[in-house]
A and B are shown apart, each in its own frame.
Chain A
Amino acid sequence: MSDPVMLRVETISKRFGGLLAVDGASFDAQAGRITALIGPNGAGKTTLFSIISGFQPPTSGRVLFEGENIVGVPPHRLAQRGIARTFQIVQPFAGLTVRENIAVGAHLSQPRRADALAAADEIAARVGLADQLDKPAAGLTVAGRKRLELARALALKPRLLLLDEVLAGLNPSEVRDMVPVIRGLVDQGITVIMIEHIMHAVMNLAQHVLVLSEGRIIAGGTPSEIAGNPHVVEAYLGRGAAQRMLQAGAAYG
Chain B
Amino acid sequence: MKGVGTILVVAALLAAVPLFGVSNVTLNFLVTALIIALAGQGWNVLGGYGGQYSFGHAAFFGTGAYVSAILQLRYGVNAWIAFAAGIGAGALAGAIIGGLSFRSGLRGSYFALVTLAFAEVLRILASVTPITGAGVGLLVKLDLRPEAFQFQSRVPFYWIILALVTVSLLIVRAIENSRFGAYLVAVRENEEAAKALGVNVIAVKLGAMVISAAIVAAAGGFYVQYFLFIDAGIAYGPWISIEALLAPIIGGVGTVFGPLLGALVVKVLGEAAKLVTGDAPGLDLMIYGGVLVLVIALAPRGIAGVVADLRARIVRRKPEAKPEQPTAGHHV
Contacts and interface: CB of A to CB of B under 8 A. Distances in A.
A57 interface: no
Contact of B201 (A76, A104, A153): A76
Nearest to A109: B198
Contacts of B190: 91-94
Interface stretch (B21-29, B105-113, B174-182, B278-286): B174-182
A116 B182 contact: yes
A215 interface: no
Interface in A80-120: 80, 84-85, 87, 91-96, 100, 103-105, 107-108, 110-113, 116
Contacts of A112: 179
Contact of A156 (B177, B181, B183, B198): B198
B309 interface: no
Contacts of B182: 100, 103-104, 107, 113, 116
Contacts of B196: 53, 55, 75, 79, 84-85, 87, 91, 153
B103 interface: no
Main secondary structure of the interface of B (DSSP, over half): helix
A93 B51 CA distance: 13
Given A96-B189, A113-B178, A113-B179, A104 B197 contact: yes
A53 B201 CA distance: 16
A42 interface: no
B194 interface: yes
A112 B179 CA distance: 7
B189 A94 contact: yes
A113 B192 CA distance: 22
Interface in B187-244: 188-190, 192-201
A104 B200 contact: no
B117 to A, nearest CB: 28
A84 B185 CA distance: 20
Nearest to B204: A76
A93, A103, A104, A111: residue with the most chain B Cβ atoms closer than 10 Å: A104
A55 B196 CA distance: 9
B185 to A, nearest CB: 7
Contacts of B193: 87, 91-93, 152
A74 interface: yes
B79 interface: no
Given A76-B200, A79-B197, A93 B185 contact: yes
Interface residues of B, number: 21
Interface in A153-183: 153, 155-156
Given A113-B177, A113-B182, A116-B182, A105 B197 contact: yes
Contacts of A113: 177-179, 181-182
Contacts of B186: 93, 96, 104
Interface in B64-103: none
Interface string A165-208: 00000000000000000000000000000000000000000000
Nearest to B199: A76
A105 B194 CA distance: 8
B308 to A, nearest CB: 13
A156 B198 CA distance: 8
A93 B181 CA distance: 14
A3 B181 CA distance: 41
A55 to B, nearest CB: 7
Contacts of A156: 197-198
A107 B183 contact: yes
A74, A92, A105: residue with the most chain B Cβ atoms closer than 10 Å: A105
A95 B51 CA distance: 12
Contact of B183 (A74, A75, A96, A104): A104
Contacts of B200: 74, 76
Contacts of B178: 113
Interface of A: 53, 55, 74-76, 79-80, 84-85, 87, 91-96, 100, 103-105, 107-108, 110-113, 116, 152-153, 155-156
9 closest pairs, A vs B, by CB? A79-B198, A93-B189, A91-B193, A75-B195, A108-B198, A104-B186, A105-B197, A107-B179, A76-B200
Given A80-B198, A96-B189, A100-B182, 19 more contacts: A79-B198, A84-B196, A87-B192, A87-B193, A87-B196, A91-B190, A91-B193, A92-B189, A92-B193, A93-B185, A93-B186, A93-B194, A104-B197, A105-B197, A105-B198, A110-B179, A113-B179, A113-B182, A152-B193
